[in-house]
Chain A
Amino acid sequence: MAVFQAALVNEVEKLYKKKKALIAVLLSLAVIVIGQLAIVGVRSGFGLRGAGSVEFPMLVLAVVVNTILPLFTALVAIDSFSGEFSQNSMRITLTRPVSRFKIFCAKIMAIVLFILAMLLLLLILSMLVGVIFNTNSGTLHSFVMTIFSYLVSLLPMVVLALGIVLLANLIKSGISVFFVSILVFIVLKVLGLIFSQYSSLFMTTQLDWYNLFLINSFPVGKIVRQFLIMLGSGIMLFTAGFYLFDKKEF
């Protein structure tokens, strides 16, 4: 376990020393500021309320889970694998007395931590902005639901990251992985719209699964099914990704 911990610390350090993490933070901030400005504009221009203090974090979540969050997850995941393959720094990582499985796990864990950190950052910032700029106050229940929605969004995002990791181990060039990921993302989004009755099977519609938790009647069956689909595809993607990573020669 100590070995894994060391590998994880190593990966996290690599991650946050890179500028990408900083850009991600700045961009998240920008999204929140622009979002709030748009709401103020709508409010004074059209006389609409836009979003209240509780709705604002939900609005931010709805936007980021489909845009910048997958984008940065892709960047970080690609960087962690393809980047190291191409710079040959993967060799250095692998010369350490740590098994490939542990290194693979540590890398995935670092990506998971990155996504979690992004979600928490977005949650705190949007809540602050929401409370400062939007007058009407929400109930404790909606406050808890907001935090919960952000937390459950971690799961589909991790599945997405695992998919990108698989691609990164499959395709050599990092840029190709990035473009293929974006293409697949868009194709899945469109398919989800066209075949809306099967949309729960698509990775991209699962990004919105936090909505299920907001339903008053709490559709347990649906939530469990969605969870199992994500779990299953997560296991599949993880195994396939590790299989490729394990076989790779450097």
Chain B
Amino acid sequence: MKFNKKTAMLISFTLGTLLVATTALADIANKSGYDQLKDALKVTAEQGSEKFDSFTLDFSIALMDNGKTLMTSNEIKKYDRLKGASETISTGESLNGDKNNYQYYADKTTQIRVSESDPTIYVTEYAKPREGEVFNNPFKEDEAADLEKILDAIVGSLKDYVVVVENSDASKELEGKLTGSQIPALVNAVASYSLKQEFNGNQSNMPHLTKDVYVNSVSGKANVNKDGVMESILGTAVLSGKNEQGTDHDVTVEILVKLSGINTTTVTKPDLTGKKVVKNIARETPGDEIANPEMFVGKFNNNILIEKDNKFIKIGERIIEITQIDNMTITGRYYEEYKPGFEEYATPDRKFKLDGKKPEQKNYSGFDYTTESGIKGNLYIDEYGGKIHLNMNTSMGGLHDSTFSPDVE
């Protein structure tokens, strides 16, 4: 049987099209190991911030040089979403051999810090309960989608290096390893240069690699349980190079993150009885609102100083008297008092009524005011330090000082 030319061409074209179409569909349907890894991370982050009542995250980092441990760090973070509480137990040894062990507890109204090297326990209490989740889903941040696209583009053809092994109980193991020429040359160069700079800072215990620095291998391994939640992920990178004396060094970084205790983790508040406790009341509240405005009613002052004969001399006082303050408005007056003999410094400009209003924009705890003579300025309440800052937009008599402290005497 002989086809004529047209039929042959038609058949071959159709065949080609079918081949491309079917394989393309199969290819899109087939998720690469990299995509499965991303999905597992997303599922884990979402469940952690929305579904699990409590869980424990265990972060460990170890840095080794030719097998000798240089630095370790371990952080166990317990989250209780129902109570809004979290606890961090951190242990580790820094590069210069210092041990830093501490425990940190936070819930909606308190923060407690217990450090091994310091017998004092620091407690911060919040005037208003804090809002927000104990664990935020990083994939819900605004930049996450863009960052993901950029990462995808960088990873590019390396996607298929992630191998997926599916177990009979639907749990998965993801694994990947890159060595030698498998690491793209440009990625290798940029990574090894930045790591080299990082290591060669002033940390004396790090091997100073100066020659033939390259990323030797990068590998990773993750376990995903049957619900698609990642239970552990281990990443290892080896940077090789020579130091000034020509000795070979393999610097290994290992990062391990484990997720455990889903819905069974309990966060306990540290027991403070019989311990030395330093209490601190935090007045900071979200949206830059002043928690206790009435505290600022009264007199605030600072000294008017001048320089004379290489010495500071007090010639008087600047005084702010606040008669009314809330989160939107402030009223009061500003004036200066001079010591006898220095009256010539006084000007009528610097005696005015304060009648301030909070501007429309958010995240600003200042008040704008205009004096009777039309001069604009603003006043800022520093709740944390208990101070008032005044920007008068006119020159001050004597040395400039815009910070006013409460007149408590």
What residues make up the interface of A, taking CB atoms closer than 8 Å to B?
A: 42-43, 46-52, 54-55, 58-59, 62, 138, 142, 145-146, 193-194, 196-201, 205, 208-209, 211-212, 214-217, 219, 221-222, 225-226, 228-229, 231-240, 242-243, 246
Contacts and interface: CB of A to CB of B under 8 A. Distances in A.
Interface residues of B, number: 46
Nearest to A51: B185
A232 B156 contact: no
Contacts, number: 138
A225 B26 contact: yes
A132 to B, nearest CB: 17
Which of A49, A55, A199, A240 gathers most chain B CB within 10 Å? A49
Which of A42, A225, A235 gathers most chain B CB within 10 Å? A235
A228 B193 contact: no
Given A47-B241, A225-B27, 5 more contacts: A51-B181, A215-B161, A225-B23, A236-B16, A238-B12
B213 interface: yes
B269 interface: no
Interface in B171-214: 177, 180-182, 184-185, 189, 192-193, 196, 209-214
Nearest to A193: B153
24 contacts: A49-B212, A58-B181, A58-B185, A62-B185, A196-B149, A196-B153, A197-B35, A208-B156, A211-B157, A211-B158, A211-B182, A212-B157, A212-B160, A214-B181, A216-B177, A225-B30, A226-B27, A229-B20, A233-B16, A233-B20, A235-B15, A236-B16, A237-B16, A240-B13
A58 B285 CA distance: 57
B160 A54 contact: no
Contacts of A42: 189
Contacts of B19: 228-229, 231-232, 235
Contact of A49 (B156, B161, B163, B241): B241
Which of B23, B184, B212 gathers most chain A CB within 10 Å? B23
Contacts of A232: 15-21, 23
B16 A239 contact: yes
A146 B177 CA distance: 18
A138 B213 CA distance: 17
